[in-house]
């Protein structure tokens, strides 16, 4: 990506450059800039601190999914029908989706304040099936990351009870002892564990593949998939959707996030609703969304992110 930037700006791929664009807009296909600026200016799309980095996953998500807000979703519909195994159409596309504060209870109110830390899926696709039922598909997008966000409660100075961190057995038997349920300064209990208990009867039944002879399974890379999973389940429990799916969309050449995601999915009772797709699988749908753009968004994205390389 740095070589491509050097070629564009200096006509020489070997010219010395930096891993940061002057502004986040330089990360996007030109046809998406108007929609992206509108979302950012309205507050509907909070930008990450390094959205101007060449390897920004947020920009990667925008390039892959904003075309379906700007143009047609027909290509995406066709992809999802095959990938999900059910007849669906996309009725809406949101980025940085958190639903509302009451779903996971990670914030004091229904909308986040400037200092609130909360779960936000990179992309939410609102669906409708051929029976008219409303569905929610949350997509975690990863470009060059080596893993997922880990649990901050393990090392928090506010955590006075580390027994659930050290033992899955203890945690599954007494999830109310988990520090994440009521972190320091929180005003109410977070709902992660109750959501899974309501869905499957217990945490053990929700995660039948989790090892019980080691530390909490959500201490490491499973933390972020778990929170997105809980967000899906909570939307159905709150009757905001009738069905849900969760997916990882990753760069084809990123092997690091694949194994953790697949292991997490296989450990759950909901593995049939948890998916993983390489980013190149959406390339053709981009050109269906915006067929008259020059450069074509599919080829632009393929070149920009070196997707589907043969070398």
Q: Dump pLDDT digits (tens) for 105-121.
A: 999 888 888 888 899 99
pTM across the whole model: 0.94
* Per-residue pLDDT reduced to its tens digit, 137-174: 999 999 999 999 999 999 999 999 999 999 999 999 99
Q: What was the pLDDT predicted at 309?
A: 56
Query: Cα 42 vs. chain centroid, distance in angstroms?
Result: 21
Does 2 score more than 90 pLDDT?
A: no
Q: What is the mean pLDDT of residues 65-69?
A: 98
Of the pLDDT bands very low, low, confident and very high (cuts 50, 70, 90), residue 40 is very high
Does 310 score more than 50 pLDDT?
A: no
Does 234 score more than 70 pLDDT?
A: yes
6 or 111, greater pLDDT: 111
Of the pLDDT bands very low, low, confident and very high (cuts 50, 70, 90), residue 13 is confident
Q: What is the mean pLDDT of residues 68-88?
A: 97
Q: What is the mean pLDDT of residues 42-68?
A: 96
Q: What is the mean pLDDT of residues 223-240?
A: 98
Structure tokens at 178: 């988990």
Q: What is the mean pLDDT of residues 234-254?
A: 97
- Which percentage of the chain shows pLDDT scores above 70? 99
- Quickly tell me which residue has 């506010």 as its tokens: 158
Break the chain into its structural domains and give their ranges: 17-150+220-305
Taking all residues of the chain, what is their mean pLDDT, rounded to a whole number? 94
């Amino acid at each position: 990506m740095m070589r491509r930037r050097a070629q564009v700006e200096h006509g020489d791929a070997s010219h010395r450059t930096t891993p940061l664009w002057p502004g986040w807009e330089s990360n996007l296909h030109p046809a998406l800039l108007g929609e992206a600026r509108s979302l950012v200016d309205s507050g509907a799309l909070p930008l990450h601190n390094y959205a101007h980095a060449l390897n920004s996953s947020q920009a990667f998500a925008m390039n892959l999914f904003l075309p379906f807000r700007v143009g047609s979703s027909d290509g995406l519909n066709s992809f999802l029908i095959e990938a999900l195994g059910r007849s669906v159409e996309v009725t809406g596309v949101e980025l940085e989706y958190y639903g509302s504060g009451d779903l996971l209870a990670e914030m004091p109110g229904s909308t986040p304040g400037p200092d609130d830390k909360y779960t936000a899926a990179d992309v939410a696709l609102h669906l409708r099936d051929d029976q008219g039922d409303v569905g929610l598909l949350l997509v975690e997008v990863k470009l060059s990351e080596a893993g997922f966000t880990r649990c901050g409660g393990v090392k928090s100075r506010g955590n006075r009870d580390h027994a659930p961190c050290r033992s899955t057995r203890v945690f599954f038997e007494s999830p109310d002892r988990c520090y994440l349920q009521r972190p320091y300064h929180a005003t109410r209990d977070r709902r992660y564990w109750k959501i899974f208990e309501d869905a499957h009867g217990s945490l053990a039944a929700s995660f039948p593949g989790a090892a019980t002879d080691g530390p909490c399974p959500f201490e490491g890379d499973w933390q972020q998939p778990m929170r997105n999973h809980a967000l899906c389940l909570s939307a159905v429990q709150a009757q905001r959707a009738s069905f849900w799916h969760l997916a990882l969309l990753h760069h084809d050449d990123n092997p690091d996030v694949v194994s953790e995601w697949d292991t997490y999915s296989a450990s759950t009772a909901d593995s049939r609703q948890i998916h993983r797709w390489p980013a190149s699988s959406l390339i053709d749908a981009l050109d269906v969304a915006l067929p008259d753009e020059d450069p074509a968004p599919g080829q632009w994205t393929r070149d920009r992110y070196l997707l589907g390389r043969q070398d």
